Structure 1
Amino acid sequence: MTAAKSASHMPYVGIASFLKAPVCADLDYLDADVGVIGIPFDEGTMNRPGTRFGPRALREQSSLYEQYLPGEGYYDIELRQTILRGVNIVDCGDVPIQPLALEANHNRMTQSIKTMLSRGALPISVGGDHSITYPVVQAFSDIGEIGIIQIDTHADVFTFYESDLTHGSPMINVARNCPNVTKFVQIGMRGLMLGEKDYSDSIARGNVIITSDEVRSIGVDWVLDQIPEMPYYLTFDIDSMDPSIAPGAGTPEPGGLLYHQARDLLRGVAKKGPIVGFDLVEVNPLYDPTGTTALLATRLVVDFLGAIFHERQARSERRPAAAEA
């Protein structure tokens, strides 16, 4: 490798696309296994703004994980295996957001994800505040029955504001307006912002609610046992993590998950059924000048992608064996 080529792999050199992946400026020409799209939107924020800068922060931190040899993936020493070998990842840029144009912004989010799905790519949305999950999930209306796994501090079912399109209400909006979403599994719940009636109503509808304390005290394996098998969309709010390792969150709360707990949850979720898409939201770099939160978020995205494609391969290998039997 020449000195010039070697230098091009430095994190501080070149365009800061996600994982320094190729960029697709026009989704109609997307040709990839995975499309990563930024949604720099934080007009649904009720606490502290700044998550609109989340996608850019993740891209910058993700430069650390550039694939030196495209297509070769990453060797994960803890797994003793290579992940994402042969998986084509493309950065799809950002959904164009116009200030105060809520309906137009939501429509662009939905249409962007629909286009990515039509091109056969697994869509990954990077926010932005958690309100983006509702218009994103609307893009999956034609793919059949799915469940949602939400890893978060808050249940996001608030309805007492004049507008229910805040980052505190995406789950209630999905429940009301996305009939193909038939199951909700909420993991990591903690704090003082879920009303008793909201909790009891959710349980009565057959939803699964698992607290942060239950993850810690009973364990990840037990949590995974509570999740039925079916296709899932996953939404991951970075405030589910402990503020000691993720201070740059939109609405932080004392306590929370640690990295290995979240990683093991994501690996287990990938085994529960096909993952149709996922988002990672609420990274607020204005409250974390170290970049630690964005780096953690990036690593969780890579870990989850590795698990998704490992399970895809395992399922494809099992199908011929089942057919022969």
Structure 2
Amino acid sequence: MNIEKIPEKMDWNKLDPPNAMNSFLHLEYSPDVTGVDIALAGVPFDLATSNRPGTKLGPAYLRSRVFKGAKVDEVLDISIGDNLKIVDSGDYKLMGGYLLDAFALIKDQTKKILDAGATPVIVGGDHSITFPELAAYYEVYGPMAMIHFDSHLDTGMYQMCPTKEIYTHGNPFSNAMRKGYLDGNHTIQIGIRTGTPKMNDEYTKEYGREILSAAELHAISYEEAAERIRAKVGDMPCIVTFDIDFLDPVYAPGTGTPVTGGFSVYDALMILETALPGLNIVGADLVEVEPYYDPCEITAISANNILAKLVTCIAYNKLMKKEDVKEDVKEAEKEKKEEK
């Protein structure tokens, strides 16, 4: 019996051993984010849900359902990790049962990633976690721009209780705007298909945000959607927050509050890769994956591919910036030589 010779060029160190610990996108696990370009982290938290609980299990679930192909982005011509250090830094340490204490811990641990010079990509967890994330970004960048993919506006409770501080996964952005963490004039919410129009109009006028509803988005091209996003965000430091229920329940049944009339995974990927390159994306999160309602791992497949696209878009921007710096250095060196 002949046994084929192992290819000499095969780098076996790049293959994951069969008993390797699960990590987001099969990235290196490293709690130390010193010198890291992009740090993924899980936030297993769902104390602020209003419908189905269980999204605290989202990070572990997505780590255990990774597909190898998600590490390569053929459209952007990039592999996750090309000339960049990208890691899974593990889960945030939280206090179960204490919502505001958990928020404080989420803020502090997001700030540590930012202080290390890395770009956070957070996996939830329910959507309330974006509020303490924004508190951390605010301390570094000031008021933030935001690109928000969702079926809900997540500015609830404001109309009923405009002064009282209530925290749920349905109002992180009304709280963030009231606190000054978000700049509504550079915030766009995409795929929205719930809520009362009159209340939304009043709130929109007050804070300056833009709503690209599901009906509008279904009717325009990916390029037109990207133009709307880029025009609203401008060159401000921006966070991308992606609620998995932006997708139609056909593509993401495993979520707390599914809403019909949504979008395909292909729609999401095309909008991300058309809109995000060139923007000043300083962080992102993916939230509301609920494993118990995910038959056949449909939501896991969708979410992991969207997570990979978020990471590769951020990586693409970082690589382009590095290339620009190299060109500037070359130009400066050239000018010095000419002066001599």
**Normalising by the residue count of structure 2, what TM-score does the alignment of the two structures yield?**
0.83
- State the match for 1:188 in structure 2: 191
After superposition, what is the alpha-carbon deviation per residue over 1:117-155, rounded to whole angstroms, capped at 9, x for unaligned? 111111011000000000011101122443011000000
Q: List aligned pairs for 1:96-245, cutoff 5 A.
A: 96-141=93-138, 142-159=140-157, 160=160, 164-179=166-181, 181-182=183-184, 183-191=186-194, 193-227=195-229, 228=231, 229-230=234-235, 231-245=237-251
2-side partners of 1:114 and 1:66: how far apart? 31
Q: Flag structure 2 segments of 5+ consecutive residues without an equivalent.
A: 1-5, 336-340
Bigger radius of gyration, 1 or 2? 2
- Identical columns (%): 30
Secondary structure at the aligned position of 1:149 is classed as strand
Of 227-236 and 115-124, more deviation after overlay is shown by: 227-236
Q: List aligned pairs for 1:1-325, cutoff 5 A.
A: 9=16, 13-25=19-31, 27=32, 30-62=34-66, 64-65=67-68, 74=72, 76=74, 79=75, 81-84=77-80, 85-141=82-138, 142-159=140-157, 160=160, 164-179=166-181, 181-182=183-184, 183-191=186-194, 193-227=195-229, 228=231, 229-230=234-235, 231-271=237-277, 273-318=279-324, 320=327
After superposition, what is the alpha-carbon deviation per residue over 1:164-208, rounded to whole angstroms, capped at 9, x for unaligned? 2100001101101134635210000013x3452233321453211
Q: Which runs of 4+ in 1 moved over 4 A?
A: 5-8, 321-325
Amino acid aligned to 1:102? L
After superposition, what is the alpha-carbon deviation per residue over 1:193-247, rounded to whole angstroms, capped at 9, x for unaligned? 3452233321453211001121111122112222222221011000000110110
Give the length in aligned residue pairs.
312
Secondary structure at the aligned position of 2:30 is classed as coil
Of 306-315 and 119-128, more deviation after overlay is shown by: 306-315
Secondary structure at the aligned position of 1:41 is classed as coil
Q: Flag structure 1 segments of 5+ consecutive residues without an equivalent.
A: 68-72
**RMSD across aligned positions (CA):** 2.7
Amino acid aligned to 2:263? L
Distance 1:13 1:145, change over 3 A: same
2-side partners of 1:133 and 1:289: how far apart? 27
Amino acid aligned to 1:128? G
1-side partners of 2:115 and 2:202: how far apart? 38
Shift in Å at residue 163 of structure 1?
5.9
Shift in Å at residue 39 of structure 1?
0.6
